[in-house]
Amino acid sequence: MLKVIRTSSDDPDFILLVKQLDADLAETDGEDSVFYSQFNKIDKIKHAVVALENNIPIGCGAMKEFMSDSMEIKRMYTAPEGRGKGIATAVLTELESWAAELSYKKCVLETGKRQPEAINLYKKKGYKNIPNYGQYIGIENSVCFEKDLN
């Protein structure tokens, strides 16, 4: 049974999953992971989500304010044994619902071109490509998206 809970970056399950995510990205992105890691600190994130399958942490995601009307989705991850089960969709849906409850109008995010599963998820969930923003401007491996929440 899947349970998705709202928490913060202090949650031990969230911290565990983010460590797995960072190891996965280090393997996938190679040298690029050093650049991205500077933007992926998890201290002081107030809005994090952990997915538990049979009370075992299997997926996570987080968001932080991007602009006054938008949240940035961060640290999306599903453990290998949970992939293909809709866990990332459940996590993303919960984050979007939470952002809407907090009166944000849209979500933005960045992912890497080497993460085709993530790109497919975001497109399936209605995210549209946008020009790379902020620290991702000019970064060849980055692709950015946004979604209106109304």
Could you tell me the end-to-end alpha-carbon distance of the chain, in angstroms, rounded to an integer? 29
| pLDDT (mean) for 25-38 | 59
**pTM score > 0.85 for this model?**
yes
Summarised one tens digit per residue, pLDDT across range 90-107 is 999 999 999 999 999 999
pLDDT computed for residue 121 by the predictor: 97
pLDDT computed for residue 117 by the predictor: 93
What pLDDT band is residue 32 in, cutting at 50, 70 and 90? low
| pLDDT (mean) for 65-77 | 96
| pLDDT (mean) for 100-122 | 95
Structural domain containing residue 63: 2-148
DSSP state of 21: H
**C-beta of residue 104 within 8 angstroms of C-beta of residue 64:** no
Residue 36 has pLDDT above 70, yes or no: no
Looking at the structure of the chain, the number of domains it has is: 1
Q: Looking at residue 85, which CATH number applies to its domain?
A: 3.40.630.30
Residues contacting residue 89 through CB under 8 Å, at least 6 positions apart? 121, 124, 125
pLDDT computed for residue 27 by the predictor: 78
pLDDT computed for residue 26 by the predictor: 79
pLDDT computed for residue 114 by the predictor: 86
